[in-house]
Structure 1
């Protein structure tokens, strides 16, 4: 056991003597005389820190005034209060104060400090159980940046910043570059992860070059689908009513856009806490500034011991980083003055301290101090508002760059082209001129990591690397000054393109991990695209780069960017790429993106068909399947049902040709939906049943898989109801009522729409209302305007069913024009039928009949469809109401025949009820015989609305 050094001479407290402190224990610590142990192991602590601890522990539970602590620990010396704060911070760091719920020393503002942990006096018999560590109870999410194992000099910042954030909600951590803002923000994210129940989002804006992408970057991080250029309102809607911590890191270069978004979130989402890091204030409503000051360093011109110098955070950081870089020499009392001098010259800037510290092993302390003097005289520029001796980060980087070897300089400059984290493979591809130079790049990268110029963190079995933002900017300028910027940018764009292209072809294995890896290329894909389209040297890369990035944008739901870059690339298409794989990818992406970001336009269809033609020519089966699926979706949305079965049958043939299990299951689901909407419910059920049996294969697909789609249970529910199995239909959709929304927001909207229709058919309007509310909220949050119109239509149906006819009509008159304008006809016919019913209820049958005539004509133009029997039935009811009984019977006869032909027993039941009412009106004999026969074909669902209504009619006959 190592004895701690004696105090600096005699210490006296307010009573004039040493605190009478016997052996005590608290938490995992044991304190006796001047020895501190943790779980039986000695703890290194400076002499003044141990004096402060002894005094506070001796008076545990009392508030000890700051002046009293100063007079005891610094007997006979005049020192400022900052010295006390530094030592208390060191104590808290050693004790782990504030970690995992442990509390030892608390600050009582304007009074002093108090030791608050329970203290047991006397020799301990056994070591107490250690406090649980966070890693034993929970694990922070991998989405948070890697936290430094040792963060020096910011012990008091974290609890104070956390308290400010919880009370003020919106705090900007402001300070010069390199001072440690990101380090503090990362530590705070980890510390507050549990406070916010895991809802912490850390966004690094450093790699973002286009300020216009701020909102879409935030949206993507929150899991929102970006369907328009400015998703700010969707972000605010999503955050409203939630509680989470949003950390916006490195905002200064996109400060206007960040400021506007942060202010809107602060105003509209009171449960959101925002921490921004920036070199300047955002200057918006609600913002509170937390200035991150330089690390305190030893006073200049005073003779301090090594222990006294190391009481200051700047010196501790310097020694810690020097040791991490391999320096093994002890800091002696003779070195203390030099170390204090170096810390003073580095002005408390964390990055400057680290850059100097990593070279101590090469030059030694005294040589480092001399070298700093030389560089300062020649090149160091002071801040405009600071004394000449106060150095900027740019100057610090200038001299640090001069200290590394030529090979390391070259590699550092070239690595600066990366906008985000990169792999070793990426570093070699960009920084090496040829294969022979690859080994030199590996060696240089290792040295750059060791010297803290490049950071590294684990990524599964490998590591990812990144440059600090300030280092990147500095190195990029050096790269440009050396005339290499264009060459290296070309290598970078080529590497990004090749990597994305390789990822497009990869299938099998852990697709989720692969997608996460591809998502890590987003910042570099954006940077490469910007460069290639802005520089003549990138002309040859434009089309393949946009083509390989297009798939990534779709996978990440960045459909607006997908549309923009695909359009630009297609405009730049040359003869060599006409009809090739890149035009195929670009046309496919453009059509898909148009369909969801704008409308179901002819341009979208033309792009998808052009892509399909190319896929067929190239015998590219996977892309042909993908394009057929997208075309099928397009025709569903536009109501062109005549195209559905042909496209689905072709997709099935291709899936069998490929032989992929998920692809075959996907084709069954595609065929089932197509037959359903086209009006063949028996075939639809047969194919959907097969799809359900192979559902596990479909669920395992990721967005990059050619057959990625929703599972078939929801469309099967609609088919089952039509086929006369209402209870089984409800079994399929009922789990959705309380289910959480999945990540695929578009597919979730589709599931909500289709399940709402089933609940409406069985007469469960309370469930329709629940699903409609979720649909409206979900669509609004994610900016999916067409689905908002659908939600309005379902809400109107509910109102009409409950007798709120006038209000329902008004809503339908607002929703239907929006759906027609977007060519979104899938739900329009049902809403039009309800509009007609509402108009008739209000005594406007002529207007109601006109609505039905127009709707039936529109559906017939698309080749008919599954709901044509119902539309004809409603027309027959109206004709009967208006006294044209012959026309009514003709309409109902066609409806009955078509329902039977489609295998839609539930439509047939409704039509038979209408026919029975008409025959009774005409005085026919036994008007209910046919209804009784159809009712007898049902084996379930007798408590649903239609069957109850039929039973009531049949009961009237027996009465």
Structure 2
């Protein structure tokens, strides 16, 4: 937990607060008040590191506990220890600790830190009474006491000024150009021997007064309109720094004069701040980028969020406004959201932070979606253009031409980044030339009203959030908002529809990336079209186009919601169309993974398949057959698997695509596996793996996307008697080679967990289960959360925590049954039955297992029926019914042999040995020895080690 306050230890009441020394020296260093020098030269330290140094030096030779250091250096804050370690590392680096044998600070594990160098000091002096703030150098504005997030650029910017002499600090309004320029002026005051002139040009209304303003600042008395020659003559052979702040509105005159000064006065350095470049000889651009903000949705802790400058600035300014509430880990996500909405713009952050005490964090996040933020007022002493975001943007809006204003307003309809092609399609005037948009776009970028970033060989553009809110308001005032939104929605639909048809090719990856970049605009277009009658004609096609995108990006909840809404609006022209096909296919797929394997999901998939076959759409027919196959896997209706998979293989052959054929082999192989034919399963899966390179190279738009044969092959290999190969097969799928698709990633984790359970590696099962629960929770795939609970309970039972494991299973199994999710339920039922028997509840255990076996046998059997029969035999034997137990085991062994499941047979043979010993058989090991001899690997796995031990205990 991190308290939302500001200040450092120097103002606190920590252990070392209030100490001032006339002089303290150690090694080549001297410390006086808050000035550290090395051999007389100042050493730059951050304020926290300085606080830590002062405290440690004041108690040199003592171990200062970490909590005391934290309380001193972060007075009023509760921060994580990582912050202390970071600042101690900074301090050690500044001192050169460890170089050439020098030692200053040592860490005493579990206790704290100790300053170990010899210290020479005078008598401590009482803490000085509070004094007035130190006045800035003459002619310079006050600098901020704490400039957050920009400290690191000051040395670089200062060095560039000395080397290049003419630097323009460029960036959008409110980003902090003036703050940085003032700080640089103060930093370089001594370097230029007090010859630093800071000119705020914002108040100038007449550009012709630029030269006379600069002349006056230099102390020149001129008697004619253009004093440029006087200025050049005065500056020639003089060494000084001129800071020209806020040049954009008088940029032509500033540019001409600055270029002349740079060319004619070789000892003068110029720092200009502007929303656009001066575009003259000698100018070097220093782009001031937004403050780094926490990533959205990363679930960072409070301490991790506050590692980002935007969040630190927000907290600092909120504390300065008197808000002292705590930022908890739960609040950290909201703070990250706020910083994201403010785009790292310092002015926006300060204005919002000043109001957090009024609204609270969560309400603040909601308010930032409104135009209200544009009118929030900041410091009364700030220049008028910086007192509100709206005023800042008014300033910029007034500096652009009419065409640029129109284009800016229309571009505000884009909710995310956009390309030049996007801009031309949406922002061009009706009947106008697209060249106007290109020219306007160039000017808007130059004036920092649009940001731009590389995108391969081209570029993408975006409006910062505050600029977009401002431009949208202007668009609404102009009366064009509805027309532009309609044009935008239609354009998004056409682009997405075009991308649906491009499923292969060398540039498929870039096309997929381009489609993904449309997500924010797809959402905005959907919201608008379903809320406005003007968008009614677009609704079904737009939702159908977006549905494919949502599935590609694993946004299955959104896919389900919008598909349902669009299907409710079908009319005679859209029923049976490609759009109904897309919506039904998406609805069935999304229902499976976000809700349950319901009749509605099956009906949607069947309806989609009916339409695709009627339209002769083979790619969608394959996709729907594969989704139906997945549905029947999950529901345990294994008798449907093979017919569906073989039909998919037939369709894949018609298409003739290599990756599609590999995907079909995976479907057929997994169908054989679950239905209980491991020999055929291995043959088909091996064939799929041989073409796996083609399958893995497919992009999300491919009809056979993400069919990974290795996932089922690993389980088949174990069942066939190759445990080592099985583990080697599955290991990459849970590491760097994990499927990209979030659903396939869950499947890989589930099937890997089941395999590691069979092998007996419960640590691996535990690891897979934790990752599965996190992954499923993060992406809203709730059925997999119940599966994770089942695997967790299996692990608990295997490790002897039977009672708690059963309790967890009792909660997980009803959830799986409610979801009609039977794929893993039978294995969990077997563990529940054994656990109940172990706790003395044999009758309940047998009844629970009997129900599951009956269901599976009525549906034609399954891959794990031999194991379920074996467990039934164990429970029968526990109840004293040895004849029934023997019958069950004989059936289990025969079925395992029929299925080609050597590993199931080995387990059954071991159970038979135990049973026959109870029956008094003299030679119980013959069949076990023969089965064991059929293995060629896996001898260190649990079952084979147990079989070897059994064989070694008693001669056959």
SS of the residue 1:81 aligns to: coil
Q: Deviations over 1:713-734 (max 9, x none)?
A: 2321110111111121122234
Match of 2:441 among 426, 440, 445: 445
Alignment of 1:830-845 (within 5 A): 830-845=827-842
Instruction: Determine whether 1:152 maps to 2:177.
Output: yes
**CA spacing shift, 1:275–1:714, aligned 2, 3 Å:** same
Match of 1:280 among 321, 330, 352: 352
Asked if the contact 1:245/1:272 (under 8 Å) is kept, the reply is: no
Match of 1:497 among 493, 499, 506: 493
Separation in 1 of the partners of 2:313 and 2:568?
35
Asked if the contact 1:382/1:388 (under 8 Å) is kept, the reply is: no
Match of 1:846 among 831, 843, 846: 843
Task: Name the residue aligned to 2:560.
Answer: 563
Alignment of 1:849-864 (within 5 A): 849-864=846-861
Task: Name the residue aligned to 1:366.
Answer: none
Separation in 2 of the partners of 1:872 and 1:939?
26
Task: Name the residue aligned to 1:617.
Answer: 614
**1:941 positional shift:** 1.9
Alignment of 1:876-895 (within 5 A): 876-895=873-892
Separation in 1 of the partners of 2:585 and 2:157?
59
Asked if the contact 1:698/1:709 (under 8 Å) is kept, the reply is: yes
Match of 1:902 among 899, 914, 927: 899
Task: Name the residue aligned to 1:109.
Answer: none
**1:751 positional shift:** 1.8
Task: Name the residue aligned to 1:911.
Answer: 908
**1:570 positional shift:** 0.8
**CA spacing shift, 1:426–1:754, aligned 2, 3 Å:** same
Separation in 1 of the partners of 2:701 and 2:137?
58
Separation in 2 of the partners of 1:158 and 1:859?
76
SS of the residue 2:820 aligns to: coil
Q: Deviations over 1:887-934 (max 9, x none)?
A: 223322322221111111111222222233334433456433322222
**CA spacing shift, 1:284–1:788, aligned 2, 3 Å:** farther
Task: Name the residue aligned to 2:521.
Answer: 524
Separation in 1 of the partners of 2:561 and 2:274?
35
Structure 2 spans left out of the alignment, 5+ residues: 1-36, 45-132, 165-169, 185-245, 249-272, 277-285, 343-348, 362-373
Separation in 2 of the partners of 1:755 and 1:385?
59
**CA spacing shift, 1:101–1:679, aligned 2, 3 Å:** farther
Task: Name the residue aligned to 2:484.
Answer: 488
SS of the residue 1:464 aligns to: strand
**1:518 positional shift:** 1.8
Asked if the contact 1:562/1:590 (under 8 Å) is kept, the reply is: yes
Asked if the contact 1:663/1:706 (under 8 Å) is kept, the reply is: yes
**1:414 positional shift:** 2.7
Alignment of 1:788-867 (within 5 A): 788-867=785-864
Instruction: Determine whether 1:785 maps to 2:782.
Output: yes
SS of the residue 1:463 aligns to: strand
Instruction: Give me the TM-score of the superposition, normalised by structure 2.
Output: 0.64
Separation in 2 of the partners of 1:513 and 1:761?
42
Task: Name the residue aligned to 1:419.
Answer: 415
Task: Name the residue aligned to 2:78.
Answer: none
Q: 660-669 or 509-518: which moved more?
A: 509-518
Match of 2:756 among 746, 759, 775: 759
Separation in 1 of the partners of 2:466 and 2:940?
69
**1:604 positional shift:** 1.4
**1:852 positional shift:** 0.9
**1:568 positional shift:** 0.9
Separation in 1 of the partners of 2:288 and 2:787?
43
Task: Name the residue aligned to 1:225.
Answer: none
Match of 2:135 among 81, 84, 87: 81
Asked if the contact 2:142/2:182 (under 8 Å) is kept, the reply is: no
**1:815 positional shift:** 1.7
Separation in 2 of the partners of 1:619 and 1:780?
38
**1:566 positional shift:** 1.1
**CA spacing shift, 1:875–1:489, aligned 2, 3 Å:** same
**CA spacing shift, 1:265–1:406, aligned 2, 3 Å:** same
Asked if the contact 1:879/1:888 (under 8 Å) is kept, the reply is: yes
SS of the residue 1:824 aligns to: coil
**CA spacing shift, 1:792–1:284, aligned 2, 3 Å:** farther
Separation in 1 of the partners of 2:735 and 2:396?
58
Task: Name the residue aligned to 1:61.
Answer: 42
Structure 1 spans left out of the alignment, 5+ residues: 1-55, 64-78, 106-126, 131-144, 160-177, 193-199, 203-217, 223-234, 289-351, 353-380
Alignment of 1:332-731 (within 5 A): 390=384, 394=390, 404-432=400-428, 437-506=433-502, 507-731=504-728
SS of the residue 1:153 aligns to: helix
Asked if the contact 2:171/2:177 (under 8 Å) is kept, the reply is: no
What do you get for the CA RMSD once the two structures are aligned? Answer: 4.7
**CA spacing shift, 1:907–1:467, aligned 2, 3 Å:** closer
**1:830 positional shift:** 0.5
**CA spacing shift, 1:427–1:249, aligned 2, 3 Å:** farther
Separation in 1 of the partners of 2:172 and 2:682?
53
Separation in 2 of the partners of 1:477 and 1:741?
46
Separation in 2 of the partners of 1:273 and 1:484?
30
Asked if the contact 2:294/2:305 (under 8 Å) is kept, the reply is: no
Asked if the contact 2:869/2:889 (under 8 Å) is kept, the reply is: yes
Q: Deviations over 1:154-206 (max 9, x none)?
A: 327999xxxxxxxxxxxxxxxxxx999999xx9898886xxxxxxx645xxxx
**1:781 positional shift:** 4.3
**1:397 positional shift:** 5.5
Asked if the contact 1:546/1:566 (under 8 Å) is kept, the reply is: yes
Asked if the contact 1:715/1:754 (under 8 Å) is kept, the reply is: yes
**1:863 positional shift:** 3.5
Instruction: Give me the TM-score of the superposition, normalised by structure 1.
Output: 0.64
**1:477 positional shift:** 3.8
**CA spacing shift, 1:706–1:403, aligned 2, 3 Å:** same
Separation in 1 of the partners of 2:522 and 2:713?
40
Asked if the contact 2:597/2:631 (under 8 Å) is kept, the reply is: yes
Q: Deviations over 1:19-64 (max 9, x none)?
A: xxxxxxxxxxxxxxxxxxxxxxxxxxxxxxxxxxxxx99974399x
Asked if the contact 1:147/1:187 (under 8 Å) is kept, the reply is: no
**1:795 positional shift:** 2.6
Separation in 2 of the partners of 1:736 and 1:612?
31
Asked if the contact 1:720/1:729 (under 8 Å) is kept, the reply is: yes
**CA spacing shift, 1:788–1:383, aligned 2, 3 Å:** closer
Asked if the contact 1:262/1:274 (under 8 Å) is kept, the reply is: no
Separation in 2 of the partners of 1:607 and 1:655?
22
**CA spacing shift, 1:275–1:523, aligned 2, 3 Å:** closer
Q: Deviations over 1:212-265 (max 9, x none)?
A: xxxxxx33xx4xxxxxxxxxxxx46x99989964968999xxx9xxx9x99554
**CA spacing shift, 1:651–1:520, aligned 2, 3 Å:** same
**CA spacing shift, 1:679–1:62, aligned 2, 3 Å:** closer
Separation in 1 of the partners of 2:143 and 2:404?
37
Q: Deviations over 1:449-473 (max 9, x none)?
A: 4454444443222222334444444
Asked if the contact 2:733/2:739 (under 8 Å) is kept, the reply is: no
> In the comparison of the two structures, how many residue pairs are matched?
697
